[in-house]
Amino acid sequence: MTTVQLNSLKCIRPTSKTDEVYFEYKIDNSGNVLKVPNDPSDSKSWLFSKDDIINFQEESRLENGTIISGSELTFNFYDQLILEIKDHDKGSKDDPLGSLVFNVNNLLESPQRLQNIDSDDAYELTFEYL
């Protein structure tokens, strides 16, 4: 089993003035798409503007004050972890901001830049293998 822990996320360029960010992930081709936070909405996401950084190893607060601990951003997998960051949009489809595939046969180096090829947004994710 491989364990990856997300350490921080930095906004290099948001899709708009502020992005309401959450993670979607899928472990080992399970078919289950899970989310952190588990119910993203306007008040249940992280707010990011240009150059904002959130350190996930400290308790981070969502817009509504809910605390997310680093353990909620630590993932165990046997084959692969597909991780996508998204921007919650009220009243329309959420925007993908970029994705990574962590594979036990091809370990990624940290940090990784995430970007949607259809927009000008950019984020940098730092992580470590435990």
pLDDT digits (tens, 9 = 90+) for 39-48: 655 557 888 8
Domain holding 8, by residue range, is 2-129
Measure Cα distances from 45 to 55, 111, 121 in Å: 15, 22, 17
Cα gap 7→105, rounded to integer Å: 22
CATH number, residue 98: 2.60.40
- What Rg value do the Cα atoms of the chain yield, rounded? 14
Average pLDDT for residues 32-37, to the nearest whole number?
A: 81
Strand, helix or coil for residue 71: helix
Under the banding of pLDDT at 50, 70 and 90, the label for residue 32 is confident
Is residue 47 within 8 Å of residue 19, measured between CB atoms?
yes
Phi, psi dihedral angles at 72 (to 5 degrees): -75, -10
The type of residue at 14 is: P
Q: Measured between alpha carbons, how far apart are the two ends of the chain, in Å?
A: 10
Q: What are the pLDDT digits (tens) for 66-122? A: 777 777 889 999 999 999 999 887 777 888 999 999 999 999 999 999 998 888 889
Q: Which amino acid is at 99?
A: S
* Domains of the chain: total: 1
Q: What is the reported pLDDT for 1? A: 94
Model confidence band, residue 29 (pLDDT cutoffs 50, 70, 90):
confident
CA angle 126/58/44 to nearest 5° reads 90
Strand partners, 10: 53, 124
